[in-house]
A and B are shown apart, each in its own frame.
Chain A
Amino acid sequence: MVYDINLPAWKWPFYIIRHPIEGYEDLRWKKGYNMKVALVIVLLFFLTAVAESQMTGFIFNRLQTKYFFVVPYVSSTIVLFFTWVVANWSLCTLFNGEGTMRNICCVSAYALVPYLFSVVINTVASNVLLQTEEGFLSFISVVGIGWSFALMVSGMKAVHQYSVPKTLIAMFFTLAAMVVIVFLAVLLVVLFQQVFVFFYTIYTEILYRVS
């Protein structure tokens, strides 16, 4: 808002990284939300998680499994992200939040960028560092996560036009809402499974009777 900015959509995340306090307000003012950019970031979130597990150097890699299986990575990145978005939207709509689902999605995705950078840097650096130099890696990851968290708070504050304490409370309850969503999803799956088993039993029973 300080100066007149006109940025292409893909430059907004980088602008926000450099302006953690005002960036999101500028984004809101300029209506710079772009779903395409957000989705690319979410995809990168997933890809970096896979890359981290597979390409981190042997000395530091404690995630490597004997057999690679993609589902845990999908659920811990893409599914987690959209659960966050849905939970946040459901909660904040009820508490005078101004953000739409689309806006929340963009804001949250943009906030992930510093974390993604830290993961990429760590993954590369872990291939040239020794056990004694582990401090560098943890420093980078702490900075990345901290920065992303700060951006997330700032973004939530801007997109819903909340005060800082209200933002923090909303974020905390968003986490609780995520747990509820996951619980309900699991319940639903289990119930549908039972229903399926029920119909399948009837089907086999009929088969026996007929033949």
Chain B
Amino acid sequence: MIKKRVKILISAFTAAVIAAGTVAALVSADEPYVAYDYDWWAETYPVQNGYIVDRVVTGADLKIADGLKNPSDLFVYDKTGEIYIADTGNSRLVICDSDFQNVREMKTFRYGEDFRLDEQKIGNYTSLNKPQGVFVTEDRNGETLIYIADHDNERVLACYADGDVWMEYTRPASNLYDQNVTFNPKKVIVDNAGNVYICIKSITRGAVVFSENGSFNGYYGANRVEKTFNTMLNYFLKFILTREQMEQRTRPVPVEFSNFAIDDDNFIYTVTEAKSADLDVLKKLDPAGRNVFAKQGYDDMIWGDFNSPYVHGKSYKSSIVGVAVDKKGDIFLLDATSGKIFQYSYEGELMFIFGGIGEQKGLFKTPNAIETYNDKVYILDGVKNSITVYKLTEFGMLVNEAMGLFNRGLYAESREPWEEILRRDANYYMAYIGMGNALLSLGEFKESLDYFHMHSRGGYNRAFKDFRIDFIRKNFNNFLAAILIVVVVLTVLSKFLKRRKRKKAKLAAAR
């Protein structure tokens, strides 16, 4: 009897343990990557996941002939949510709606009646050859315009949604453009004024800019030249060598940027893929071409991973191949080395790191394009021929909510979400800065200082300024009293001492 009871107890206990185990397994997020963040000393520590995999769509899932073959660019049109894929290997454009339904392709294009460059061509057909970039916007009449960087045909094709070409941007005949340099458009973006920016790998002077009517406007937003030993040597040699001798030396050129994106306010974000580049890895350019992110504080900001290990002759430094900007101004960077996505706020504060290299869902082989739409992040993998969609976790939503309030300057209102975030993950770095700002605007200076400490020097400085003024104001009477007392005591004491000295001197004299 007893034995049986024990047996039942044991089996019940085992069942309970197994059940608890399964529940635990269900509760813990099963992502194949570890989310982490950087602390004050730029060392990593794990944090909660901000994004998890929503779905992975391969070329086969799209139910289109030939699927996808080495696609290299992805664009989500904000207005309709349509997804445009530059299917490079199949030399076509694949278009579907935001649920990856209603898939269609664009392969041949007809020169429409609006094509003004060459009247002879109107009515002719043309096809793509390894397109590498796609951009969609609307014209003044609200009609959808598609721009395709037709890489091997050396042109950018601009057409309407029905496939009627109305403009072609080809190698400019201008003297400003070196005719020995190829014109292989990699990426293309268009601003609100209709100016077309084309990213070309062989050009280090920036993006090639065309106006809407096809005339060449020059270059835009080149990277800075890195300070290397050679540039410094050139600087000194300039004083010694003649002009002819100087021309013999190699001229330092900046590293070309490899991809870009444009936000609703016409700020252009460029990223530099080359691992040799430490400067201008991400630029946020205003319309005049100035980098908003250049030299904030003491040094340039570091984008991507902070540490760049060098193992077995291979550099694992971040190589940022893609950039996307969402409606709130958050910046998403795609790192091809580690397969990770870095989310930054519009001021460049790190929010989340997710993704990785591997075979599982949510990991990549060669990620090469990133887009964001409706708080979802779309990553295109050129070898897996798939699109991975990430969605926010509950924690990620909280952080986005708090950051949204924070960015709009509603610090006091953002206190509750930040507190909730810290309850869920006491390690989350931005929450401390957010709480510091919230408490500072609520006038709780002392607590604000505690939150800013070891998290934000600028924030601490602001809080301390208010704290100091507040402290002096509150204790002004005490200060005054203290000063008064000290002065009185000192005068009395000095008089007393003088008198004693005089007496002593008199005594000595009398002796």
Contacts and interface: CB of A to CB of B under 8 A. Distances in A.
Interface string A66-109: 10000000000000000000000000000000000000000000
Interface string B437-455: 0000000000000001110
A204 B460 CA distance: 57
B43 interface: yes
Given A66-B41, A66-B43, A59 B468 contact: no
Nearest to A67: B41
Given A58-B453, A58-B454, A131 B43 contact: no
Contacts of B41: 65-66
A130 B452 CA distance: 14
Contact of B460 (A58, A66, A128): A58
Contacts of B460: 58-59
B468 A58 contact: no
Given A58-B460, A59-B460, A66-B41, A130 B465 contact: yes
Interface string A127-156: 010110000000000000000000000000
B457 interface: yes
Contacts of B452: 58
Contacts of A131: 457-458, 461
A133 B465 CA distance: 11
A155 B468 CA distance: 42
Given A58-B453, A58-B454, A130 B461 contact: yes
B427 to A, nearest CB: 15
Nearest to A65: B41
Contact of A128 (B457, B458, B468): B468
A131 B456 CA distance: 13
Interface residues of A, number: 7
Contact of B461 (A59, A65, A66, A128): A59
Contacts of B43: 66
Sort chain B's interface into a size bin: 10 to 19
Nearest to B461: A131
Interface in A44-71: 58-59, 65-66
B346 interface: no
B160 interface: no
A59 B456 CA distance: 9
Contacts of A58: 452-454, 457, 460
Contacts of A65: 41
Given A58-B460, A66-B43, A130 B454 contact: no
Contacts of A59: 457, 460-461, 464
Contacts of B457: 58-59, 131
A142 to B, nearest CB: 20
A55 to B, nearest CB: 14
Contacts of B454: 58
Which of B452, B458, B460, B461 gathers the greatest number of chain A CB atoms within 10 Å? B461
Interface in A112-129: 128
A152 to B, nearest CB: 31
Contacts of B458: 131
Interface in B64-91: none
A72 to B, nearest CB: 16
A57 to B, nearest CB: 8
Which of A58, A59, A131 gathers the greatest number of chain B CB atoms within 10 Å? A58
A44 B186 CA distance: 64
A128 B465 CA distance: 9
Interface in B11-51: 41, 43
Contacts of A66: 41, 43
B203 to A, nearest CB: 40
Contacts of A128: 468
A163 B432 CA distance: 60
A66 B454 CA distance: 10
Interface in B407-456: 452-454
A137 to B, nearest CB: 14
Contacts of B465: 130
A41 to B, nearest CB: 30
A175 B327 CA distance: 60
Contacts of B464: 59, 130
B463 to A, nearest CB: 10
A65 B458 CA distance: 19
Nearest to A66: B41
Interface string B113-151: 000000000000000000000000000000000000000
A128 B452 CA distance: 16
A58 B462 CA distance: 12
A58 B464 CA distance: 10
6 contacts: A58-B454, A59-B457, A59-B464, A130-B465, A131-B458, A131-B461
Q: Which 5 pairs of residues, A with B, have the shortest CB-CB distance?
A: A131-B461, A66-B41, A59-B461, A58-B460, A130-B465
Given A58-B452, A65-B41, A128-B468, 4 more contacts: A58-B454, A58-B460, A59-B460, A130-B464
